[in-house]
């Protein structure tokens, strides 16, 4: 996928997220300039994303007036959408790290500290703290890409996904948590190592593995919704 289509994908998911989360309600006037400023991208990919969303029924294009949130927005699995958005933001942040010629070794100590907190929560079988520390690690990683707005968006997505996963551990035995989350914990440690070694393209691949692993912890219908997403399918 080329750079323009990547930016279009970020814009598409951002606008869609604002609509699905009801931050932008029916009839809301979508202003390209504001989106451009928030996402730090030009208006061209934003306009292309809006055209796609209009084709899908999320927005209406009114000649000489612009784009507005539609009256009858299609039903979408919100958790599946946010899981995908989290992945795409992660890709964007890794691209930023490469572009900025980040030296991953400068972040090794703080990343190791965050991983240790995740491991400690895991060993104490405290799944609430496990997800809190996992999100703290995610923030520390994405912050390296220096885009506060998208990092906050990613954290909101992560919170939605982790809350959905967490629900089953309030009824299941703790041993299920230990078995389910062991690979996830190991992946996080590997991710930190790759970033510290400046292997950002490898980290990109591992991010996708992590997202797919989290997907498998979600209800079947959410897994199917995630797999059925066709728009900008190639990341």
CA R_g for the chain: 18
Phi, psi angles (nearest 5°) of residue 117? -65, -40
Shared-domain flag, residues 92 and 176: yes
Residue 235 lies in a domain: no
Query: Do residues 100 and 168 both lie within one domain?
Result: yes
Among 24, 40, 69, the domain boundary falls at: 69
**Domain holding 135: CATH number?**
1.20.120
Tell me how far CA of residue 170 lies from CA of 26, 117, 178, in angstroms.
36, 21, 13
Range of the domain at 24: 3-69
Asked if the structure places residue 232 within a domain, the reply is no
- Tell me, yes or no, whether 94 and 195 share the same domain: yes
- Asked whether residue 183 is assigned to any structural domain, the reply reads yes
Predicted TM-score (pTM) of this structure:
0.93
The CA–CA distances, whole Å, from 25 to 20, 21, 38, 160 equal: 9, 9, 19, 20
Residue 74 inside a domain? The answer is no
Per-residue pLDDT tens digits of the chain, which is 235 residues long: 555 558 999 999 999 999 999 999 999 999 999 999 999 999 999 999 999 999 999 999 999 999 999 999 999 999 999 999 999 999 999 999 999 999 999 999 999 999 999 999 999 888 789 889 999 999 999 999 999 999 999 999 999 999 998 887 766 566 688 888 899 999 999 999 999 999 999 999 999 999 999 999 999 999 999 998 877 654 4
Residues 52, 83, single domain; the answer is no
Residues 59 and 159 occupy one common structural domain: no
Domains of the chain: total: 2
């Amino acid at each position: 996928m080329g750079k323009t289509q990547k930016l279009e994908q970020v814009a598409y998911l951002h606008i869609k997220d604002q609509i699905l989360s009801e931050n932008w309600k029916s009839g809301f006037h979508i202003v390209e300039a504001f989106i451009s400023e928030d996402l730090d991208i030009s208006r061209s990919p934003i306009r292309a994303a809006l055209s796609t969303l209009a084709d899908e029924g999320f927005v209406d294009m009114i000649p000489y007036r612009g784009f507005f949130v539609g009256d009858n927005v299609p039903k979408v699995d919100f958790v599946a959408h946010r899981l995908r958005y989290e992945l795409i933001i992660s890709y964007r942040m890794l691209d930023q790290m490469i572009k900025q010629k980040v030296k991953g070794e400068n972040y090794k100590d703080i990343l190791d500290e965050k991983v240790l907190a995740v491991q400690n929560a895991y060993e104490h079988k405290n799944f609430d703290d496990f997800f809190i520390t996992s999100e703290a690690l995610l923030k520390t990683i994405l912050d390296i890409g220096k885009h506060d707005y998208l990092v906050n968006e990613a954290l909101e997505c992560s919170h939605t996904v982790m809350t959905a996963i967490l629900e089953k551990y309030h009824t299941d035995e703790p041993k299920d948590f230990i078995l389910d989350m062991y690979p996830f914990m190991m992946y996080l440690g590997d991710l930190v190592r790759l970033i510290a070694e400046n292997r950002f393209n490898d980290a990109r691949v591992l991010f996708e593995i992590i997202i797919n692993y989290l997907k498998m912890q979600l209800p079947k219908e959410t897994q199917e919704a995630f797999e059925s997403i066709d728009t900008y399918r190639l990341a």
